[in-house]
Structure 1
């Protein structure tokens, strides 16, 4: 092999090493800047999150009913509208009647299977609203018949 070919090979190797070195330096600089802008990642704790206030209930309320959703206008209405009607109709809520435990179990099921987010400190207000306003009713579609004289039909 000639001197010229050996020299070209050495230059190529040096060139590749320089490319790798500059690439690693670039990655290190990027990582340094990222850590400088996000110091909380070094402490393995999440950044403080901003608490967002619940908006006031929008829409017309007549005779204690929120007209757009059909929900009862009571404390917790805004939280229920904000969290429940994002994914499904208000009718799905109003047609169901459950105890507090039933509503909590339904929320857990939605969180485990339907990607419902963590309700955080709003969960208590939501569950209380639902348990009070959409609790099981003791009577069915009609009152139980009492004091009825039954008779037999004749052929």
Structure 2
């Protein structure tokens, strides 16, 4: 009789323990959800997209990109600025061979597509408008009156 009683007590203990664990898990979850810090809400910032100035040229410069207005500018904008900023082009000065090598490098390593017939137009544009200049960082100082320090 005692053996049967002990089995019933043991079974009851297991059920009671399972019930207590369940209660603790539920209350723990409720406590977690009640006291968690809410994720910050990202508010949509309205972006004013204006297409009216996109084709605007001022003083021979395409306002939206900073490219020099010349034959091949549109093809260069379409093929170059779809992957990177126009500033990456306008800040560089390379020979035609340098630009060709850069395009080849982008095709081999950066997944640039085959430019087809546009390649010659783009190379002509870049070599003409973004070629190295003969000037250094500044011109030589020529009209300076030098004096000796004593």
Band the TM-score falls in, shorter-chain normalisation: 0.5 to 0.7
Match of 1:106 in 2: 102
Q: Secondary structure at the match of 1:132?
A: helix
Q: Are 1:89 and 2:68 counterparts? A: no
Q: Distance in 2 between matches of 1:131 and 1:59?
A: 23
CA positional deviation for 1:141: 2.1
RMSD of aligned Cα (Å): 1.6
CA-to-aligned-CA distance 1:83-132 (integer Å, 9 cap, x gap): 00001100010000011001000000111111111000100000000000
Runs (5+) with no aligned partner, structure 2: 1-53
Runs (5+) with no aligned partner, structure 1: 1-57
Match of 1:38 in 2: none
Q: Give runs of aligned pairs for residues 48-63 of structure 1, distance below 5 A.
A: 58-63=54-59
Match of 2:126 in 1: 130
Q: Secondary structure at the match of 1:68?
A: coil
- The normalised TM-score by structure 1 is 0.58
Match of 1:28 in 2: none
The count of aligned residue pairs is: 97
CA-to-aligned-CA distance 1:16-59 (integer Å, 9 cap, x gap): xxxxxxxxxxxxxxxxxxxxxxxxxxxxxxxxxxxxxxxxxx52
Q: Are 1:117 and 2:109 counterparts? A: no
Q: Distance in 2 between matches of 1:76 and 1:133?
A: 10
> Which is further off, 136-145 or 87-96?
136-145
